[in-house]
Amino acid sequence: MSAICELANFRHKTDPVTDAAIDILVSVADTDPEPFFRQVAIYSLEKIAKEKPQIIPKLIDLGITSRMMLKIYELKRNEEEGKQP
């Protein structure tokens, strides 16, 4: 989780490292099975978007999708935890 948070520190308008951080964070926000990690990745992307506003459309699309997926993962997780002895 700390790595996901630290990626938000790579927020420079033209540094290619920022683009790599964005790619990693988008991947985590899109695919990580842990809802909390997905939320932290979205938060980190929001911090980067303040310095690099051109990612805002991607963040909006991702945010809508991720929030829906977070609810689905959370429901599945609660169901699985309820079934365990």
**Confidence at residue 27, expressed as pLDDT on a 0 to 100 scale:** 92
pTM, to two decimals:
0.70
**Confidence at residue 9, expressed as pLDDT on a 0 to 100 scale:** 86
Query: Average model confidence (pLDDT) for the chain?
Result: 81
Give me the DSSP letters along 16-71.
HHHHHHHHHHHHHHHH-S-HHHHHHHHHHHHHHHHH-GGGHHHHHHHHHHHHHHHH
**Please, which pLDDT band fits residue 84 given cuts at 50, 70 and 90?**
low
Q: Which residue has the higher pLDDT, 42 or 59?
A: 42
Alpha-carbon gap, residue 35 to 53, rounded angstroms: 25
The pLDDT tens digits for 7-47 are 888 877 777 888 899 999 999 988 899 989 988 998 898 88
Domain boundaries, the chain: 2-83
